[in-house]
Every structure is written in C-alpha cells, then in structure tokens.
Amino acid sequence: MGLRVTLVTAARSSSLLAERFDDDRPLDEAGWYEVQQAAPALIPLGAAELRYCSPTPRSRATGTALGYAPLAQPALRDCDMGRWRGLTLAE
C-alpha cells in the first residue's frame, strides 16, 4: 500500500504582489479568482482522508474555498521573518 502526498500552494495575496516578507494578509481579489479558476481541476483532492494547511489566513481561506475543510497545522507555517515581517525588500 502506497502513500500519496499532494501539495497545493495557497493563492496569492497583496503582500506577495508587493514583494513583502510574510505578513499574514488574507486572500485578495486576484487570489480568490485564482482559487475559482483552479477549483475544478482540484476537486478530486477533496476525497483525501487527511487535509492539512498552514495556519495563515491565506492558506486557510484557500483550503476552505476549495471545499477541503483542512486542519491548520502549526508545523506547516511559513518561515518566521521576525522583525522583517511585513517589510518590502527595499525597507
């Protein structure tokens, strides 16, 4: 018996577009559009026995919008950016 692991990345948010270090922003309009476009191809993944996501609002919203009802797992959170959190590369 094999184990299959499928990873789905969270849809983007405005912090990614602004090239900011992770600042836990929720999905923006473009992110919601991405989820709607990807949803039909990802429907079969909803049948998985276990579904986990990062605890970030963006990851939880992506999983919920896809109908996965994922469990947030702290071990899947992004890298801690410390005092750089929310800043741009220039800042």
Number of domains into which the chain is organized? 1
| Residue carrying structure tokens 């079969």 | 44
Domain containing residue 50: 14-84
12 has pLDDT over 80: no
Number of H helices, E strands in the chain: 3, 2
Q: What is the pLDDT of residue 3?
A: 84
Residue 89 maps to a domain: no
Residue 27 maps to a domain: yes
Residue 3 maps to a domain: no
Mean pLDDT of the chain: 83
Q: What is the pLDDT of residue 37?
A: 92
Q: What is the pLDDT of residues 35-61, one digit of tens each?
A: 999 999 988 888 888 899 988 888 898
Mean pLDDT of 4-26: 72
The whole-angstrom separation of Cα 73 and Cα 51 is 10
Model confidence band, residue 14 (pLDDT cutoffs 50, 70, 90): low
